Amino acid sequence: MKYRSELELVAVPLWNGKPLYQSYLIAKSDRDASRLSDLRGDIHAFSDPDSNSGYLVTVALVNENGFGRETFFKKTLFTYSHRNVIRAVASGLVQSGSVDGYVWEVMREIDPDLVARTKIVRKSEWFGFPPIATSKRFAQTDQIKALKRALLASSDTDAGRAMLDYLRLSGFAVADTSLFDLVSQKIESLRGVL
């Protein structure tokens, strides 16, 4: 979102038929926690400071609930990967984490033992799925157009379906930038805080 004015959408992945995903707050599966306030005093793992689902959503939520961003958690750390957030929570290194809902669900299929050691404390509202974008300068090039066509028609070919199956996506679609307005609002709400 930081470079929104310089970028142009190519396609948006469809997950479960929709170009949407959520952010999950997760904790150890054996822990008695069902809301944000239960996570007070935790060591909390974020995935990346530039991630919406792995950082921004949780910081905004803490802020919206009137908790001090610096004091709500005992300590926060970045693992620079959604998968690592799951690993950190599952191992007990941290007590909770913020993770991309799409990654958590896919990981549940790929590495069920790891994910089974975590549980969802809270699911966020739906956000526009992180899209494939290009620099506006290259948007009208043949390569980008070819890429866009290939993505949009990926469900029509074997290679495309194999790719979609691998990524656990149902396809790609053209979307309007308004799909990401909620993300923009979150960033806006945190202006001056972050």
* Site residues (vs another protein, CB under 8 A): 43, 45, 74-75, 77-79, 84, 88, 91-94
- Tell me the closest approach of the beta carbon of residue 152 to another protein, in angstroms: 38
CB 161 within 8 A of CB 3: no
Rounded Cα gap, residues 75 and 8, in angstroms: 37
User: Which value, to the nearest 10 degrees, does the dihedral of the CA atoms of residues 146, 162, 126, 176 take?
Assistant: 10
For 121, the 3-state DSSP assignment is: strand
CA–CA separation, 107 vs 131, rounded Å? 20
Q: Which is nearer to another protein, 61 or 89 (CB)?
A: 89
In terms of CB distance, is 42 or 62 closer to another protein?
Answer: 42
Cβ of residue 90: shortest distance to another protein, in angstroms? Answer: 10
**How many whole angstroms from its chain centre is CA 64?**
19
Shortest distance (Å) from residue 49 CB to another protein: 13
Whose Cβ is closer to another protein: residue 17's or residue 92's?
A: 92
Minimum CB separation of residue 43 from another protein in Å reads 6
